[in-house]
Amino acid sequence: MGLFGKIIAKITGSADASAADWDELKTALLAADLGPELSNEVVAAARSVRAGSATEAITKALTSSLCNESREISRSISGPTVLLIVGVNGTGKTTSAAKLAAALASDDSTVLLAAADTFRAAAVDQLRTWGERLDIDVVHGADNADPASVAFDAAQQVIARNMDYLIIDTAGRLHTKNDLMAELGKVKRVVEKILPVQEVLLVIDATTGQNGLTQAKIFTESVDVTGIIVTKLDGSARGGIALAIERSLGIPIKWVGTGESVNDFARFDPAAYIQALL
């Protein structure tokens, strides 16, 4: 039983909960990185909600802070579906790109990967190793090639080969670097000359603190993020910042990473996530 469990056990019904109990509850939300704003909001909402128990009240409040957007990876109406994987350094983009490729391929779809991180040492090799393991082709360019041209190349190939999905891995970049954000915008625009980019998935490390909100905001300004992948949920971090992002920007969490192997990857299940949080 988590910290929440202890608290909930103490609070018998939401009407009977004392101020100290709610305080303790807020503490737990803060410790999960929901941030002061969302934590205050959730507690306030839970206090005013009609519920048989505090557990129910909190579950309701957390649930209503989620957005109503679909959590499915959307398919292009016609032609291949292009997914762009973006995020700051080291969050798990390459691993997630590979896991997602495997997940889509297991649904009987044909998937192509593109190694558009031409910057970090050995990043291309890393994705190619994944490709070999999964038996999925990886399009890549020369070292230090222009990432947009690698992506464009891959888009042409996915059309020519009449495949279902193209997943483009990109270099990690801090949102504060304008030139790198511009480069990312160019990758997207260049691909869009021949294929719509259906989804831009922002990879957020579950350990990320409040800076995650700023990251999501600026990545959205640059490339219009359509979904979140939360990684490293197998650790002790609860990834509450992703909820704060979903709440403040209305971008749905779509997939979660729970380990380093290809199968440690699942569709985001809000009810299960909230239950685990409690």
Q: If contact means CB under 5 to 8 A according to the sort of partner, which of other proteins, Mg ion, ligand GTP, none does residue 119 touch? A: other proteins
Task: Provide the token pair at 31.
Answer: 């410790």
Taking the mean position of all CA atoms in its chain, how far away is CA 36?
Answer: 21
**Cβ-based burial of 162 (10 A; exposed 0-12, middle 13-18, buried ≥19):** exposed
* Interface stretch with Mg ion, choices 13-21, 54-62, 94-102, 187-195 (CB under 5 A): 94-102
Q: Is 121 in the site for other proteins (CB under 8 A)?
A: yes
State which residue, 76 or 126, has the beta carbon closest to other proteins: 126
- Touching ligand GTP, residues 59-88 (CB under 6 A): 87
Task: Provide the token pair at 18.
Answer: 């004392």
- Contact letters for other proteins, residues 10-29 (x by CB under 8 A): -----------------x--
C-beta nearest to ligand GTP: residue: 172
Q: Is 91 in the site for ligand GTP (CB under 6 A)?
A: yes
Q: Is 206 in the site for other proteins (CB under 8 A)?
A: yes
Q: Is 94 in the site for Mg ion (CB under 5 A)?
A: yes
**Nearest residue to 114 via CA among 78, 79, 74, 80:** 80
Residue from 35, 80, 92, 147 touching ligand GTP (CB under 6 A): that is 92
Q: Is 269 in the site for ligand GTP (CB under 6 A)?
A: no
- Least distance between Mg ion and beta carbon 98 (Å): 10
Q: Count the Cβ atoms, other than its own, within 10 Å of residue 102.
A: 18
Under 8 Å CB-to-CB from 7, ≥6 apart: which residues?
A: 21, 24, 25, 28
Q: Phi, psi at residue 245, to the nearest 5°? A: -65, -50
* Rounded Cα distance, 104 and 109, in Å: 6
* Rounded Cα distance, 221 and 208, in Å: 20
Q: If contact means CB under 5 to 8 A according to the sort of partner, which of ligand GTP, other proteins, Mg ion, none does residue 194 touch? A: none
Q: If contact means CB under 5 to 8 A according to the sort of partner, which of Mg ion, other proteins, ligand GTP, none does residue 258 touch? A: ligand GTP
* Interface stretch with Mg ion, choices 47-55, 86-94, 188-196, 198-206 (CB under 5 A): 86-94
**Nearest residue to 166 via CA among 178, 175, 157, 177:** 157
Q: If contact means CB under 5 to 8 A according to the sort of partner, which of Mg ion, ligand GTP, other proteins, none does residue 35 touch? A: other proteins
Residue from 9, 182, 272, 276 touching other proteins (CB under 8 A): that is 182
Task: Provide the token pair at 261.
Answer: 């192997």
Residue identified by tokens 């050995």 is 122
